[in-house]
Chains A and B, each alone.
Chain A
């Protein structure tokens, strides 16, 4: 007993530096955001005195609601597309020979050598009304000559998927690498078709990787600001852009804080749900 408690003290001592760091630079600023949201703004872009509910009340606004809805569906759709693309890639990465594996992983990592902003601007060039993609699609009759590929929600989804795809491939690949592929043979042996084996045995087998991958896209996409700012236009605006407008254009920090709270809560909600679900499912296995 005594020994155990001493060990616990030692363990918490080890985690103290990171705890200190997180509370000082993450939890405390977050609490500031909550506090500022309850303050009035002053005309000079600063924070007035006294307390008010006005900022939070002003969030109930059809304009915000539309942006929040768009933020949500863009994030969900981006996460879904990423998972659909990354799962087969992760599967094949885990199965190819070591030499090809290195080559493909390299291909996935190479884009990171170019700055994130530059890559988004590259998309702007690609999707430009005078760009090659637009011309090819218009020529083949797949889209009308007036259809714009740029400055809409579709462009935001496309570039979000492009940006976060590597972050979804890697956790799925890591999970697939640990997966025992003989289980797929066993499933086939027991009468499952190829796709059935994949859905009933492989997907549950890489569950953790899939959850991680979803969170890796969904959470940054919710708070995404740069991508909709560059390729989104007014019809591709997300909450992140609204917050930036409140800060830089309106110079209204309390308003921006109120919006941020909505964002923080909407990030925390799925995260906590996933954690609770995972803990519940893992409980019987924790015997080992």
Chain B
């Protein structure tokens, strides 16, 4: 399928800030596409370029084969859900939803039937006479969605639509958004800094940083095979271990020396050569932990460690362990509660191990990413000046 909404080499600068830096991106028809990134990464600017609130310095925006780069917002077949909803405070729910049709000078009968249909879709038929400030956050959200969808846009733009809601409501609205997307079947461009939202809703995600796109892919691709250290660090938790390739194993794997751990086996998808400096990224849930030494096996890395901190998280427990001077986080799910099993405690000697395929080698991350790669927290009770950097 060809691209439906397309950014071609788009750049936008605000004063000294390069908000969007030569981005090319294609979104397919009917897709739920997310732009994910930290605040200030340019994702909202991308959305405003699509809506027509900003015009790019260079590049083009293409919608359904037509160049809409210089078209004003009212002439674009796209509609926006604003983070603050931007409902008109002087109009009630019914009038808010009818706004687009009234401006388009549709007949009274048409407007009435379509607004009623929208009110049914968002299940707010009995609230039609209320003013926005009498509505709850979730209701405002739904009115904003109805107000946009009634114009039958080709693309619906959503600017952090759930950011203002509390956790439970957010989870409910997530499901509702997903249902609405399935029902109306139009293209959604969703901007968020919340990876959970992006992961659970999107067909594809573009991870952005500093006005550039770091990676585009399905949620699983982004999570399982991050292409850059930024993506690995921004999506989920990960351990970054600094090392150097020392040798190749078979054709697909290589050995990495990390601190004074020799020969850590790692999948070599980047065709690294001996001598290359790398970062090894291993997700905490991919690392196993136990008191007993596991069986040796091909491609399995086994390292002794000492438990420094434990954080009980309900369904899982996070362990911070120290091995060869490195602090590593390990996430362990509680499968079953064994009364006779001796639980892992502070200062216990344990073994951690992971499969060679579960680690990813990444180029050394850029200095700007440092703040995202949260340094491992100090051991509880450890004095500040004693903190050594991993």
Flag whether B79 is at the interface (Cβ < 8 A): yes
Q: Nearest Cβ in chain B — how far from A113, in angstroms? A: 36
- Per-residue CB proximity of A36-67 to B under 8 Å, as 1/0? 00000000000000000000000000000000
Flag whether B84 is at the interface (Cβ < 8 A): yes
- Per-residue CB proximity of A86-100 to B under 8 Å, as 1/0? 000000000000000
In the complex, how many residues of chain B place their beta carbon closer than 8 angstroms to a beta carbon of chain A?
26
CB atoms of B90 and A182 under 8 A apart:
no
Flag whether A11 is at the interface (Cβ < 8 A): no
- Per-residue CB proximity of B328-370 to A under 8 Å, as 1/0? 0000000000000000000000000000000000000000000
Q: Nearest Cβ in chain B — how far from A200, in angstroms? A: 8
Flag whether A205 is at the interface (Cβ < 8 A): yes
Flag whether B276 is at the interface (Cβ < 8 A): no
Flag whether B133 is at the interface (Cβ < 8 A): yes
Q: Nearest Cβ in chain A — how far from B157, in angstroms? A: 8
The A interface, classified by DSSP as helix, strand, loop or mixed, is helix
CB atoms of B100 and A207 under 8 A apart:
no
- Per-residue CB proximity of B49-83 to A under 8 Å, as 1/0? 00111000000000000000000111000111010
Q: Nearest Cβ in chain A — how far from B102, in angstroms? A: 9
- A residues near B72, Cβ cutoff 8 Å: 188
Flag whether A141 is at the interface (Cβ < 8 A): no
Question: Chain B interface: which of A68-76, A122-130, A153-161, A189-197?
Answer: A189-197
Q: Nearest Cβ in chain A — how far from B127, in angstroms? A: 13
- B residues near A77, Cβ cutoff 8 Å: none
Flag whether B253 is at the interface (Cβ < 8 A): no
Known: A285-B133, A288-B133. Is A193-B74 also a contact (CB below 8 A)? yes
Flag whether B147 is at the interface (Cβ < 8 A): yes
Flag whether A185 is at the interface (Cβ < 8 A): yes
Q: Nearest Cβ in chain B — how far from A33, in angstroms? A: 40
CB atoms of B133 and A186 under 8 A apart:
no
CB atoms of A183 and B74 under 8 A apart:
no
| Selected contact of A191 from candidates B51, B88, B151, CB within 8 Å | B151
Flag whether A29 is at the interface (Cβ < 8 A): no
Flag whether B29 is at the interface (Cβ < 8 A): no
- A residues near B133, Cβ cutoff 8 Å: 285, 288
Q: Which of A120-169 touch B at CB < 8 Å?
A: none
CB atoms of B73 and A287 under 8 A apart:
no
Residue ID in chain A nearest B134 by CB atoms: A287
- Give the docked Cα–Cα distance between A193 and B102 (Å): 12
CB atoms of A186 and B103 under 8 A apart:
no
- B residues near A200, Cβ cutoff 8 Å: 99, 103
- B residues near A205, Cβ cutoff 8 Å: 89-90
CB atoms of A185 and B73 under 8 A apart:
yes
- B residues near A196, Cβ cutoff 8 Å: 103
- A residues near B53, Cβ cutoff 8 Å: 185, 188-189
- Per-residue CB proximity of A247-285 to B under 8 Å, as 1/0? 000000000000000000000000000000000000011
CB atoms of B151 and A190 under 8 A apart:
yes
- A residues near B79, Cβ cutoff 8 Å: 189-190
Q: Nearest Cβ in chain B — how far from A259, in angstroms? A: 40
Residue ID in chain B nearest A193 by CB atoms: B74
Residue ID in chain A nearest B144 by CB atoms: A186
- Per-residue CB proximity of B148-162 to A under 8 Å, as 1/0? 100100000000000
- Per-residue CB proximity of A168-191 to B under 8 Å, as 1/0? 000000000000101101111111
Question: What 4 A-B pairs are tightest by C-beta distance, nearest first?
Answer: A186-B86, A190-B100, A204-B90, A188-B73
Write the residues of chain B forming the contact surface with A, with a CB cutoff of 8 angstroms. Answer: 51-53, 72-74, 78-80, 82, 84, 86-90, 99-100, 103-104, 131, 133-134, 147-148, 151
Write the residues of chain A forming the contact surface with B, with a CB cutoff of 8 angstroms. Answer: 180, 182-183, 185-193, 196, 200-201, 204-205, 207, 284-285, 287-288
List, sorted by A's number, 26 A–B pairs whose CB atoms are closer than 8 Å: A182-B82, A185-B53, A185-B86, A186-B80, A186-B86, A186-B87, A187-B103, A188-B52, A188-B74, A189-B51, A189-B52, A189-B74, A189-B78, A189-B79, A189-B148, A190-B74, A190-B103, A190-B147, A190-B148, A193-B74, A200-B103, A205-B89, A207-B90, A284-B134, A285-B131, A288-B134
